Amino acid sequence: MELIQNSYETYTVLPQADAQKEVSAEVIVPDTQADVYSVLTAFATCQIKQKTLRQDCLALEGTVEIQALCQEEEEDRWQIIRGSVPFAMEVEVPGCKEDSTLQLRLEVLRCDALIRNPRKLQLQAQLGLWAQLFQKDRLLLTESAGGSQEEDIQTLCDTVELELLRAVAEKKLVAADELQTGQQGRLLHYTIDWRQEEQRVLSGKAMLRGSACVQAVFFKDGQLNGQEYRIPFSQVVECEGMEPGDTVTADYQLLQAQVTLLEGESPALSCNLTGSVTVWVTRRMRLPVLRDVYSTRFVTDCRQEPLNCPAWKCFERTVPVEELCQPQEAAVAVVDCRVRARGFVEEGGRMGGIYTLRMLYCCASGKLHCVEHTLKVRCDEGVEARQLTLRAGWKDLTTQAENGAIRIRFTALLRGRGLVDQPCSQVTQCALDPAARRSAPPAGTLVLRTVEMGETPWSIAKHYGSRVGQILSANKLETDAKLTPGQLMIIPFSG
């Protein structure tokens, strides 16, 4: 007996790696600026300067750019102190090689600025790194079995739908422009968000279009003013083997950003942004699989094993959030709100997010204050997936002063991705012993028996060493007939 097999290209996802790192540095207040006496708030962005893949290891180098809003000796006067905190970190990624395909996410989990003296600040940040490695592989399927007429091989074949991860590719993104701002004041801080607006799948490539959204906050006369600007981008990502009809998922990561305010008669933001996009290509395929096999003439030893082909599936949940924050000083108006979000997965596959909102607000005297509020969001329903990773986001955020408190409203966006088992088994080994013939009744013998719970025409035929077709014909049954416990069955033997 010979098993007929075929192989299909796919990718396997290795266990994820993650790490955290604390970094800090001192910064001197420039001679051109006044002494500082307290820090109202601090903002940070992470810049990846170099990424190096080595055997079983990922190494990163870069800087954390921190801006601190500091109070001068006079309570109504504030200034911005900027500083760069260098970092270098390594994380163990088993199976990683120099030419591996790897997706990473590096985020600032927390940042602070502490006053050492009126001319010196201590800048601190906590970084979180997450990495996922993809390894090219081949899925081996047993599709059928062949044998001689003497062996009289019977096969149970099925067509199964499997979702294969066919390609993973990474490409660098660049967006640059000078954006007219008007008279907005000094640039306090900014955030960058890559937003995809269109995608097209062609043979061997994916075309992505969208905008790099720059959300800038300006500081003028003790007040903050936020503004959003968009820089369009388009990128073609080559993915070998991609075909129209494939499903494409893209994930974006900011690598470096240089955003500076060009002052003059027509103030403008000079933006030079570099990012990366990782593209996953999945394809749902109908493939033949050999589920079971035996010989009516000889004793056979058949091994069946689960098909090791988990599907890469995306999950998305939304949770409405409303909460009241009570600051130390009664709030009259909220002038700015920055959000940091980190996803988590609890036992049972329940997705959630930890949201930290840092809000600047005015009190009745007009003085600026800062309050930090952290809340935890959970989904009621869990998801069944392995290696589930989660990215927390939000939309429709509003913060409003209400009787001295701050009412927070937003919709939490929880986007997860994990491996889901595709239940299926296939024959992996089958041996036939020519010296061990089956003992069967003489040709023309009919056996009458009743069906037991869970039996099928195939299982009955295999048990008696009869042909499936003969059983179906003798009982006037269709190929996919369902049997009822207690039902009478005729088992014929042809010798």
Rounded distance between C-alpha atoms, residue 97 and residue 57, angstroms: 8
Task: Give the model confidence (pLDDT) of 112-145 as tens digits.
Answer: 999 999 999 999 999 999 998 988 889 999 999 9
The answer to whether 353 and 344 have CB atoms below 8 angstroms apart is yes
293: left (phi over 0), alpha (psi -120 to 50) or beta: beta
Helix (H, G, I), strand (E, B) or coil at 332: coil
The answer to whether 127 and 19 have CB atoms below 8 angstroms apart is no
pLDDT of residue 387: 86
How confident is the model over 351-358, as a mean pLDDT?
Answer: 95
364 phi and psi angles, rounded to 5 deg: -65, -30
pLDDT of residue 495: 63
How many helices, marked H, and strands, marked E, lie in the chain? 2, 23
pTM > 0.85: yes or no? no
Q: Which of 283, 117, 256 is nearest to 176 (CA)?
A: 256
Percent of the chain with pLDDT strictly greater than 90: 65
pLDDT of residue 128: 94
Per DSSP, 403 falls in state: T
Residue with tokens 């604390």: 22
Which of 271-275, 318-322, 436-440 is least confident?
A: 436-440
Helix (H, G, I), strand (E, B) or coil at 355: strand
pLDDT of residue 340: 92
Cα torsion at 208, 211, 212, 213 (round to 10°)? -150
How confident is the model over 410-428, as a mean pLDDT?
Answer: 91
Task: Give the model confidence (pLDDT) of 171-216 as tens digits.
Answer: 999 999 999 988 778 888 899 999 999 999 999 999 999 999 999 9
Q: Give Cα 456 distance to the centre of its chain.
A: 41
Which of 68-77, 331-340, 384-393, 413-422 is least confident?
A: 68-77
The answer to whether 281 and 246 have CB atoms below 8 angstroms apart is yes
The answer to whether 14 and 310 have CB atoms below 8 angstroms apart is no
Rounded distance between C-alpha atoms, residue 275 and residue 172, angstroms: 6
Rounded distance between C-alpha atoms, residue 123 and residue 121, angstroms: 6
Structural domains in the chain? 13-136 (no CATH), 161-293 (no CATH), 311-420 (no CATH), 439-495 (3.10.350.10)
Helix (H, G, I), strand (E, B) or coil at 458: helix
Rounded distance between C-alpha atoms, residue 262 and residue 272, angstroms: 13
